[in-house]
Amino acid sequence: MRACTRQVFEMVIMEQPGLSLLDEDGRMIVKIEGNARVETAMLLKQSLAQTPAAREVAIDWSAAEHVDASVLQILLALRKSLAERGLPFMVDKDNLKVRGYLKLSGLSEYFPVRDRPAQAAPAESAYG
């Protein structure tokens, strides 16, 4: 008997240094890398406004060095919009530096994680 494999269709919606939006069969992946600051937040907001509706949004910030509060604000607005439509919002690939910042700011519960953090460094190292 031959195993049936499902091929995932992935399309790059937008790609800029530090920020990519990917569509995997209606599941949008927001990939954040490096230092995500105000410029990234503005680009993310513009890109999301022009992006077709997704049935799920997942965040991959495993390669992020820093995620600014302005980026988190855009992601929180996206989360709220999705929740109003009953759609899921998760962190697919986490980062201990970002997770430490979320815990300090009291936002951790708003960014549920699907898997374990990608980096093995302790959270305290993000602040020292």
List pLDDT tens digits, range 57-112.
899 999 999 999 999 999 999 899 888 888 889 999 999 999 999 999 999 999 99
Indicate the residue type of 64.
Answer: A
CA 80, 32, 40, 102 torsion: positive or negative?
positive
- Is residue 2 included in any domain, yes or no? no
Number of domains into which the chain is organized: 1
Residue 4 maps to a domain: no
The answer to the question of residue 112 being in a domain is yes
Among candidates 89, 88, 92, 110, which has minimal Cα distance to 101? Answer: 110
Q: Is the pTM of this model over 0.75?
A: no
Residue 3 lies in a domain: no
- The domain of 34 spans 10-127
